[in-house]
Amino acid sequence: MSKMDFKSIRRDLHQIPELGFQEFKTQRYLLNYMKSLPADRLVIKTWKTGIFVKVHGTNPTRMIGYRGDIDGLPIQEETGLDFLSSHEGRMHACGHDFHMTIELGVLTHFVHHPIEDDLLFIFQPAEEGPGGAMPMLESDTMKEWKPDCIFALHIAPEYEVGTVAVKEGLLFANTSELFIDFKGKGGHAAYPHHTRDMIVAASSFVTQMQTIVSRNVDPLDSAVITVGKMESGTVQNIIAETARLEGTIRTLSKQSMESVKKRLEALIEGMKISYDCEIEVNYGSMYRQVFNDADWTNHFIGFLKDTNRNLIICKEAMTGEDFGYMLEEIPGFMFWLGVDSPYGLHHSKLNPNEEAIDFAISLLTDYIRTI
């Protein structure tokens, strides 16, 4: 395929972002493309809205895995592109349209130019939530086709096209969603003494949460608690009976995640007494840290140096990625791919440089041939 063909595929996919386990159009588009490829070495199996694609090698002794994620985000796009999202309130604001396109490019190459080993391409749904990696790992297909090693990439707006950033060990943080529901007693604004105001309770709790990291986490460790959404109340003269906080917890160690949650729950018990209310906490989707295997990561770093690619040994990030579940079971690594955008991940104006697509396809096909 020509370079423009893959950019065109990216633009097609960019227009149909879908949320986790709702990627029906996306799956159909991917399957239709795969049907255009020679079928003699391909075996395709679907799993929910995801896809497994096995490419038979010429003389296999092992299975090499590659994973790309396929879901979008609940964000209204503001890029002004000609190929804007056609789904209201949905956007590929984390680069999964790039991830899918690059994976299709690598798949296409090895269908036409097979290597000795078998290859497994995983198109995973629901990375943004509620989490597709862990249940996909537990699927019958994955048990039958469990690879011996596995790789993935994530776009990085802050790096230039042609740059690869990676490190051995911890790359992405442990993450947990956070949902806290408050219930008190509503009533007329003129009679606050007959009510239990949950706007006041929730606001106070947001403030108290800031002490969890500053006074309960080792300063040499790292943790972040963010409340990104708060809902409460109906009109200006009614005291709110309920409130809801939605946020995220991110830590660089499993121990800190446990410590943060323990302290959070202790504060909740105190808030129940202080504000005479009911409070429930739900941690939603929890993602394991992305921990890059030392041997495989250093093999990749050696390849990048030998082929004069622009390499950055980066620091760990508080980003969350459920690829961490796969790396717990299968040795491998994830790396950052530079896409040179002034807007960051999950931004409504994110517009990665499409030149990164062909660079990444070439990079990965060259690397896989060295394994």
Name the domain count of the chain: 2
> Is residue 24 over pLDDT 50?
yes
| Res 219: pLDDT | 86
Query: What's 105's domain CATH number?
Result: 3.40.630.10
267 and 304 part of one domain? no
> Is residue 3 over pLDDT 80?
no
Binned at pLDDT 50, 70 and 90, residue 220 comes out as: confident
Last residue of a domain, one of 286, 306, 326: 286
The mean per-residue pLDDT over the stretch 319-348 comes to 97
Which long-range contacts does 39-43 make (Cβ < 8 Å, 24+ apart)? 41/111, 41/114, 42/111
| Res 250: pLDDT | 96
Q: Is 69 a catalytic residue?
A: yes
Report pLDDT digits (tens) over 242-281. Answer: 999 999 999 999 899 999 999 999 999 999 999 999 999 9
Structure tokens at 7: 């950019």
124 and 200 part of one domain? no
% of the chain beyond a pLDDT of 70: 99
25 and 152 part of one domain? yes
Binned at pLDDT 50, 70 and 90, residue 350 comes out as: very high
305 and 157 part of one domain? yes
> Is residue 313 over pLDDT 60?
yes
Last residue of a domain, one of 286, 317, 347: 286
The mean per-residue pLDDT over the stretch 32-42 comes to 97
- Assess contact for 324 and 172: CB atoms under 8 A: yes
> Is residue 1 over pLDDT 50?
no
The mean per-residue pLDDT over the stretch 4-15 comes to 93
> Is residue 106 over pLDDT 70?
yes
* Cα 42 from Cα 312, distance rounded (Å): 35
55 and 41 part of one domain? yes
Distances (CA, A) of 175 to 2, 181, 223: 39, 20, 10
179 and 275 part of one domain? yes
261 and 294 part of one domain? no
Query: What's 252's domain CATH number?
Result: 3.30.70.360
Phi, psi (deg, nearest 5) at residue 64? -105, 125
Instruction: Choose among 14, 15, 20: nearest CA to 69.
Output: 20
Identify residue 309 by its one-letter amino acid code.
R
Please name the residues in contact with 110: beta carbons below 8 A apart, sequence gap of 6 or more.
Answer: 55, 119, 365, 368
Active site residue: 128, 293, 321, 340, which one?
Answer: 128
183 and 206 part of one domain? yes
Q: Which domain holds residue 344?
A: 3-170+289-368
| Res 128: pLDDT | 95
Binned at pLDDT 50, 70 and 90, residue 6 comes out as: very high
pTM of the complete model: 0.93
Active site residue: 23, 69, 77, 321, which one?
Answer: 69
Mean pLDDT across the chain, nearest whole number?
96
Report pLDDT digits (tens) over 153-170. Answer: 999 999 999 999 999 999
| Res 2: pLDDT | 46
